[in-house]
Amino acid sequence: MTNEKLKNLFSPGSIAVIGASNSFDKLGYHVMKSLAGNYQGKIFPINPKAEKIWGIDAYRSLKEVPEQVDLAVIVVPASLVAETVHACGRKAVKGIVLITAGFREIEDAKGEVLEHELRAMADRYGLPIVGPNTFGYVNLTLGINASFTSEFCQIEKGGVALISQSGGMCHLCGFLAIDERVAMSKLMSLGNRCNVDFPEMLRYLVEADEATRVIALYIEGLDAPRDLIETAASLRGKKPIIAYKAGRSEKGDSASRFHTGSLAGNHDIWTGALRQAGILQVESADELLDTAKALDACALPGGPRVAVLSGQAGPGMIASDALERVKLQLSRFAAATQEKINNLLPPIAIRTNPVDMGPAWYNPKAMLEILQAAVEDEGTDGVIFLAMYASANLKLAEELEKYMKALEPFRKPVIACFTAPPGIWDESIKRLDRQKGVVILATPERTAKAMGNLWKARLLWGEKR
Amino acid sequence: MTNEKLKNLFSPGSIAVIGASNSFDKLGYHVMKSLAGNYQGKIFPINPKAEKIWGIDAYRSLKEVPEQVDLAVIVVPASLVAETVHACGRKAVKGIVLITAGFREIEDAKGEVLEHELRAMADRYGLPIVGPNTFGYVNLTLGINASFTSEFCQIEKGGVALISQSGGMCHLCGFLAIDERVAMSKLMSLGNRCNVDFPEMLRYLVEADEATRVIALYIEGLDAPRDLIETAASLRGKKPIIAYKAGRSEKGDSASRFHTGSLAGNHDIWTGALRQAGILQVESADELLDTAKALDACALPGGPRVAVLSGQAGPGMIASDALERVKLQLSRFAAATQEKINNLLPPIAIRTNPVDMGPAWYNPKAMLEILQAAVEDEGTDGVIFLAMYASANLKLAEELEKYMKALEPFRKPVIACFTAPPGIWDESIKRLDRQKGVVILATPERTAKAMGNLWKARLLWGEKR
């Protein structure tokens, strides 16, 4: 599978939806909903009976479409897939998203046979096929949602590509990404991986997909894990690659075999192999998203020494504790830095690290000057910046945003947690997030965990390109 | 400090706000905002100049108020606190919330002197004083928000009391509680703990506050930790008590001393002491809230054997992994249970534990029957139930809610993660949360962590009363 073929797969000028439907209960309805009104190219709904689907002229079959079709999204029953793929081959489509399930993931031997046939057809026509047994893909860069989940259009456009072996995990992470403002380039579930699997996706995303700056993988189990490991190793350091590997438990392992047809394998062996391939391993969906977001927006720290600056002392303490848990250190400020901070805070304040900015609470400009001083400190490699706002101090939050605008982008990582009640400061937090290389995460503990992973990333990959 | 005095402090029939203000920039404005329109009793704004504050008749001083004042919320400058407390004593108020800062938490020796005076006055008048240096308290049971953060009124009324040594952590946890539907009875920051400290609060909440079913503590450092430990030990098993202890790192420790005037102390000693006192220790704000929520709504498991039921296989795998991390086991179903499940799922499904309910996806009734079978299974002590919804399967989500209504409350813990895009299913998730003893948490990993803590709780306290 070449990068060029994958590029075509992800940037179609026209899309046919084979099995498009006007009935809410059909996946073909929801695929149309995902595309109609969002996708800028031509859409050809294919349905033997309907005249129009989602207000768009429908065709009885693919061959009746009078124009070139670049991508076919297939949602017909498994028994009709073979003839449908043949029709796609004859029509010279450039790629297929095969949502239909019922292939090698089922216990019945028939599924394995069907999948074998499918591969043969894909080879014959030189066709990249995403799936079968996938919800599809979303290319946020180009505004293409080739999936049955229209809400993925709400994810912000950005640099993180999430490639998942599970549709459920893609949904979980995609929904969390909307809430937590993780900006993405692509989101896809590989499903049974007919001929689009982790290795070719990795190569394509690293070498040929400019919009992707960070690659996040969710892996259950692979038939040929060595291919993934060797591909990742050959691409090491070009773009950050992080992975959440499931199947730690014995039972989880056997579940994986049935889910997408591959054994999860021994967890410790996987951990070692991922490390050797230069893939950063994470242990939860939250950590996968936080780390990807921070890797996309922040510089990498040159060392493990972190400054914690907090508008309220308590959150500063727990961030300090959490840093210790991920083996980072609280930095010791150089004399000049300490003097600057001392000039910005009254003597009653805790001015060493963690810094309690409480006494500067009514002076957001001073808080940002403390931030700048900490970032510029020679003994500090990264900064955690915390503030909890409510309506009583909303003006201060707005001033913080105003002063932030005037700053230069930070050349060291700054990970923030700004908390406010729902609805109170949402738009402002949205604007502040990733401005000047500052990422905003949900809790103080999560800022520390993400900082720990940025440092691990630096050790794995060296300086960020 | 008697339970009766604390009961009066938390259930005033009238409240004076000393330092009430019409100016947005004053905390006295925000305290009035928190009370006005929410509090059912009489409010007396005290301000030497204003006629009306928030539309309510103001008084120039407390002594001019012609009626009984039960609670005084004080937001005047530190230099005026002494005379204000005297005035409260003379007026025979029953309790004080002293928001003003500038006491022993400041480096200046003057602060220590002021605080000493304050204690003497409190003793003289037999007055319970929350603070100084606190944002106040919220009694959600009675709809009293005696704090400068009006948004705390958005927290749902329920059984969790959060007592915090840090106002910042109270804000963080309070805002997370709104988002994550943690229903609370009380929320308060002890501040400098003039004469309302952890031990008396614990005793009051366990013995005299019926609305509180679970007590969550955020602790930094105490002058007399033994008092807390001995009080908790004497109350052991009566109501669940959980604690998040900060100050693990050496630097965090010294920060604590300045923050609220006490050393955090050695973390390992604290861990041992908390365990001996029967307090369940947690390690993050998320875990504190999740665990409190689950303890409030769920039965405790009789053992460590858990069934994982998932509408999508991937999330089921990661929940299984996460269970292993907290030393729980995947249960092995009894033959009769397995047969029931086999009858509800086609042979193509993974029907052992973790159960992939995917093939029953279009039959929410069957999914709930599988849930019931798992809960009733003799080899299963608790159940994790996972499903990711989007607009394509919203009807299924609605059916799930319908069938859930018809069920009996579960007598084993059921912890669920139902995820959907923002706005898609919010109201329904809100209604489902804590129905029938099922709690809904944010991610599969967090369901496993909470289940692990329910099992730890059972080991600490025995069966739930």
- Summarised one tens digit per residue, pLDDT across range B171-219 is 999 999 999 999 999 999 999 999 999 999 999 999 999 999 999 999 9
Whether B121 and B210 map to the same domain: the answer is no
pLDDT digits (tens, 9 = 90+) for B289-324: 999 999 999 999 999 999 999 999 999 999 999 999
Q: Are residues B159 and B196 in the same domain?
A: yes
Contact B432, B181 (CB under 8 A): no
Residue B429, phi then psi, degrees to nearest 5: -60, -40
**Chain A residues touching B329 at Cβ < 8 A:** none
Euclidean distance between CA atoms A188 and A171, whole angstroms: 10
Using CB atoms, pick whichever of A150, A246, A330 lies closest to residue B317. A246
- A137-194 pLDDT, tens digit per residue, is 999 999 999 999 999 999 999 999 999 999 999 999 999 999 999 999 999 999 999 9
Asked if B154 and A220 come within 8 Å (Cβ–Cβ), the reply is no
Backbone angles phi and psi of A11, in degrees to 5: -135, 55
CB atoms A171 and B312 under 8 Å: yes
**Contact (CB<8Å) A419/B176:** yes
The Cα B24–Cα A108 span in angstroms is 69
In a domain, A72, yes or no: yes
User: For residue A240, what pLDDT is reported?
Assistant: 97
| Alpha carbon of A350: minimum distance to chain B alpha carbons (Å) | 7
A310: Cβ contacts below 8 Å, ≥ 6 apart: A316, A319, A354, A355, A356, A357, A384, A385, A386, A387, A444, B168
In a domain, B376, yes or no: yes
Task: Pick the residue of A317, A394, A429 with the most B CBs within 10 A to test the interface with B by mutation.
Answer: A317
Other C-beta atoms closer than 10 Å to the C-beta of A226 total 12
A289 and A305 in a single domain? The answer is: no
Q: What is the pLDDT of residue A254?
A: 54
- Reported as a pLDDT band with limits 50, 70 and 90, residue B449 is very high
Q: Residue A240 in contact with residue A280, Cβ under 8 Å?
A: yes
Residue B409: DSSP 8-state = P
Joined together, the tokens standing for residue B292 give 């409190």
Is the domain of A176 the same as that of A101? Answer: no
Q: Do both B159 and B208 map to the same domain?
A: yes
Q: Identify which of B168, B256, B258 has the shortest CB distance to residue A312.
A: B168
Residues A334, A450, single domain; the answer is: yes
By DSSP bridging, strand B14-18 and strand B71-74 are parallel
The domain boundary, picked from A241, A273, A297, lies at: A297
Interface predicted TM-score of the whole assembly (ipTM), two decimals? 0.94
Q: Is A98 inside a domain boundary?
A: yes
Query: What is residue A353's predicted lDDT score, i.e. its pLDDT?
Result: 94
Q: How many domains does chain B have?
A: 3
Q: At B206, which CATH number?
A: 3.40.50.261
Whether A269 is covered by a domain: the verdict is yes
Say yes or no to pLDDT of B251 above 90.
no
SS3 B448: helix
Asked whether residue B150 is domain-assigned, the answer is no
> Same domain for B370 and B227?
no
Looking up tokens 């329904």 gives B428
Q: How far apart are the CA of A362 and the nearest CA of chain B, in angstroms?
A: 10
Contact state of A246 with B218 under an 8 Å Cβ cutoff: no
Final residue belonging to a domain, choices A68, A102, A133: A133
Chain segment B215-231, per-residue pLDDT in tens: 999 999 888 889 999 99
Query: Contact A251/B330, CB-based, under 8 Å?
Result: yes
**A286 and A308 together in one domain:** no
Residues ≥6 apart with Cβ < 8 Å to B160: B177, B182, B183, B184, B185, B212, B213, B214, B215, B216, B292, B293, B296
Residues of B with Cβ-Cβ distance to A252 under 8 angstroms: 317-318, 320-321, 324, 354
Closest CA to B288 of A291, A310, A423, A444: A444
Closest-CA distance of chain A to residue B100, Å: 13
**Is residue B264 pLDDT above 80, yes or no?**
no
Q: What are the residues whose beta carbons fall under 8 Å from the beta carbon of A133, sequence distance 6 or more? A: A98, A100, A101, A102, A103, A105, A167, A191, A192, A260
What was the pLDDT predicted at B223?
Answer: 83
The answer on A312 and A263 residing in a single domain is: no
Tell me if B314 and A249 make a contact (CB, 8 A cut-off): no
Which residue range(s) make up the domain with A334?
299-461
Q: In Å, how far is B267's CA from the nearest CA of chain A? A: 10
Contact across the interface for A419 and B323, Cβ inside 8 Å: no
Amino acid A258: pLDDT: 47
Tell if the CB–CB gap between B318 and A167 is shorter than 8 Å: no
Range B90-118 average pLDDT: 90
pLDDT for B32 equals 98
Residues A264 and A342 in one domain: no
B165, B315, B347 ranked by CB distance to A168: nearest: B315
Question: What pLDDT is recorded for position A110?
Answer: 86
Interface test with chain B among A30, A178, A321, A440, by most B beta carbons within 10 Å: A321
Question: Which among B297, B326, B353 is the end of a domain?
Answer: B297
A445 and A322 assigned to the same domain: yes
Q: How far is B465 from chain A (nearest CA, A)?
A: 33
pLDDT of residue B97: 98
Q: What is the pLDDT of residues A359-390, one digit of tens each?
A: 888 899 999 999 999 999 999 999 999 999 98
Residue A149 lies inside a defined structural domain of this protein: no
> With 70 as the cut, is the pLDDT of residue B256 above it?
no
Q: Which residues of chain A have pLDDT under 70?
A: 249-265, 348, 464-465
Domain with A124 in it: what CATH number?
3.40.50.720
Does some domain include residue A142? Answer: no
Q: Please, which pLDDT band fits residue B254 given cuts at 50, 70 and 90?
A: low
Q: Residue B117 has what pLDDT?
A: 93
Domain assignment present for residue B147? The answer is no
> Are B275 and B304 contained in the same domain?
no
pLDDT at B114 over 80: yes
pLDDT of residue B455: 98
On whether the pTM is more than 0.90, the answer is: yes
pLDDT digits (tens, 9 = 90+) for B269-283: 899 999 999 999 999
Contacts of A33 in chain B (CB under 8 A): 391
Q: How far B309 CA lies from chain A's nearest CA (Å)?
A: 12
Chain B residue at shortest CA distance from A248: B321
**Would the CB atoms of A168 and B323 count as touching at under 8 Å?**
no
* Res B102: pLDDT: 85
Cβ contact (<8 Å) for A255 and B311? Answer: no
